[in-house]
Each structure stands twice: as structure tokens, then as C-alpha cells.
Chain A
């Protein structure tokens, strides 16, 4: 493999990173779970990925693909098919709304609105699962998981900022 080919693969990887990462998370159901006070909690990385990329670079993450990732996530996690798609698309709409209303982007502002966004979609998720599907789910676990996801957002945002920068640099170099 020549050097230019490796560079091309690297460039494509960086360019499609949000998409690859989203589908990787959806297909593997990857989360970092941990025990606290005898309860199991985990981060929901997908929320952070969708919120960040729809807010900052919506052209990198198509809504249709987010819908598809939701379907995959439902199958893997054994949820009623379509529920995650609704959650993700609602989060997209919140991010798109914030994008349309924001003139000066700022991490703290995004972070707080991310909390509002995930609390709304977690509530929608809980309501549909319990009222419509009679799905046994603990409200406390769900909300605490959302709160933990909120805490890691700045870290993920910084990481994605770096990736966006690398991508921009690669694009300018070509």
C-alpha cells in the first residue's frame, strides 16, 4: 500500500468519523457501565455524538442515517423498534433549533442545553416505554444515566473539536 493510499484512507476515516462512530455504538450497544451504591449506571455516548455533530456539523451526520442507527440500537438493546429513532430525531430537532437560535457558540451554553435536551428525550422515552409498551424500566436509572451522559459531554465535545480541526486541516491540505 502506497503512502498516498494510506493518507486517503486516513482522510476518509476522519471525514466519516461521526458516522462510523455512531454506527459502531449502535451495532455494539457499547457503553461504559459502572456500579454505584449497588446500582448499575452507564453513559449514553450516542446522545453526545448526535447532539454535537448536528449542532456543529450537520452535513456530516444525515438524519436518515441517524434514524437507521436508532433502528439498529433498538434491535440490539431489545427495545420496541422505532423508539430510539424517535429519541435521536427529537434530539436532532433540539440541536437544530439551538443551532438556528445561536449566534455565538459556547461550550457552557451547549452543555446546559444538552442536559435540557436529554432530559426531554429521556422523559419521552420513559413515557412511551412504560405507558404504551408496559416496558419495565427504572426511572431513577434512566435519569441518572442521562445525568452522567451530561457530565461527560464537555470531554466528548473537546475530543470531537479536535477531530473537526484535523478534518479541516486535511481538507485544506487537499
Chain B
């Protein structure tokens, strides 16, 4: 008898939790759970009106999120500006003591570029990558253990395509993984799921740069057995995937316990404007 009453209580509690509408509640939990499952099942539609509706909804939410996050972004930017300001004197001395001879380097670079174009013509090799980059503003900076990404204010309405490379100044940032009507999402090279084909110079060794979920570095994978890589070697995009252009600088090699990592040139916490390959 007592166990029957206990079971009845249990069933009543479950029924009341799922089906009963509480005070000021318009829907029962059961109804909303069914709606959620239906919404989730719509994820299978990757094109058509549902996809368009999803894109517009995402755009609206991103814009809303941008306005709500604005005060915090302002505080964060000021914090980094303040830090930079404190470091200014140190940076000034560093730059003053360094002998750059920028003009000669620029001329040398121009010479190699022209030579490269001529040699490619001789080999009948076509440049499949576009050199056009579209400037875009970073709306949202979404960095959690599961995702390192940023949202930008350009979407397929501006000609953004899935998978294309993104740069800050001349350095590699990541690639586009999600394109909406007016906004897009960039997967940063630091994300756990980011895998970028790279080339390590000066020896021209191919590898895969794998994000570790850390803002400052990523790991080098699929390296040859005879490694001719030194600390300080520069890592560039190799372009073998046919989407990301080659020769975009990513970072510098360093090693920890014989494992090779790449320290990014870009500070992912301070992205304000980025350039997207068209």
C-alpha cells in the first residue's frame, strides 16, 4: 500500500512537472520540449526557405548580441589600449634599437614577387586564388572552451563564401565556417576543430596546424620523421586545400618537450577589423 502511494506521488510529480502550466506560464514543458525537438530537426535543411529564415534569425540575434555586448567590448578595448599605452616606452626603445632598413627589404620583396610571377608563367601555373580582400568589422568575439570564433558584419549579401581565408593586417586569422545574409562566423586558427594545411619555411616542410583551444599557440601535426625544423622558423598557409591562399604568415615555431608548436602572430583577443578573401 505504502509503495503504491509512493509511486502515485512520483507519477503525480512527473505529470505536474511536464504537463501542468504554472502561474503566468503560457506553455507546458512538454509542449515546449516537442517544439524544441522540431526546431532541432530543422537543422537538416541546409537550403531553401528554412535556411533563409535561419540566416535572417541569426543575423537579428547577432546584431542584438552586438548591441548588448558593446559596453563590455568598450571596457575590454580600453583595457588593452591601457596595456599598450603602458608598454609604449618599452616598444619605442625596442624599435629604436632595431635596424630595419625597410626600404631595401621592400624592394627585395618586390623583386622576388615579380620573379615568382614570371616563373609561374613559364611553368604555365595558374593562380587559382583571388587577391581581393574585403574589409570587415568584428561584431562579436565568442571565445569559450568549445568554440573560438568571431562574428563579422559581412555575409553572403556581400559575396562572402564558405571556407575562405581571413587575415588581420597580413597575418592569418582563420576561415569562414558559417555564412548568413548579413553576418558570418570565422573559426579562429586557435580553435580545437581548426586544421589548416601549412608550410614551414625555410625548408618547405608541409604539415597540419591543429588548434589547441589556446589563444596564443597551436600544434604542428603530420610532420615528416626527419624533422628539419628549428625554433623560430616561420609557418605560412600552404594552399594545398585549394581554398585558402598560400603564403599567408601564421606564426613562429617553438618547441616544448620535443613537440612543435606555433606561436600566432595575431592576438585573437584584439581583433577589431579583418580582411576576408573574396
Contacts and interface: CB of A to CB of B under 8 A. Distances in A.
Interface of A: 24, 27-29, 31, 33, 35, 38-42, 58-59, 62-64, 66-67, 70-72, 75-78, 80-83, 85-86, 89-90, 92-94, 96-97, 99-101, 128, 133, 136-138, 141-142, 145
A89 B28 CA distance: 10
B185 interface: yes
B17 A97 contact: yes
A27 B143 CA distance: 13
Contact of B144 (A31, A58, A63, A71): A31
B171 interface: no
A100 B13 contact: yes
B136 interface: no
Contacts of A35: 214
A141 B145 contact: yes
Nearest to A35: B214
> Do most interface residues of chain B lie in helix, strand or loop, or is the interface mixed?
helix
B87 interface: no
Interface in B198-253: 212-214
Given A28-B68, A28-B72, A138-B192, A77 B36 contact: no
Given A90-B33, A93-B18, 9 more contacts: A27-B64, A59-B23, A63-B22, A67-B35, A77-B142, A78-B177, A81-B40, A82-B36, A82-B38
Contacts of A75: 57-58, 61-62
Interface string B38-49: 111111000000
Given A64-B26, A81-B40, A81-B54, A28 B65 contact: yes
B39 A71 contact: yes
Interface residues of B, number: 53
Contacts of B62: 75-76
Given A28-B69, A59-B24, A89 B36 contact: yes
A85 B193 contact: no
B101 interface: no
A92 B18 CA distance: 9
| Nearest 6 Cβ contacts at the A-B interface | A82-B40, A82-B39, A96-B17, A85-B36, A100-B13, A40-B145
B232 to A, nearest CB: 23
A107 to B, nearest CB: 21
26 contacts: A27-B64, A27-B65, A28-B69, A29-B65, A29-B144, A31-B144, A42-B144, A62-B26, A63-B25, A63-B28, A64-B32, A67-B32, A70-B36, A75-B61, A76-B61, A77-B146, A80-B40, A81-B43, A85-B35, A85-B39, A86-B37, A93-B29, A96-B16, A97-B17, A101-B10, A137-B146
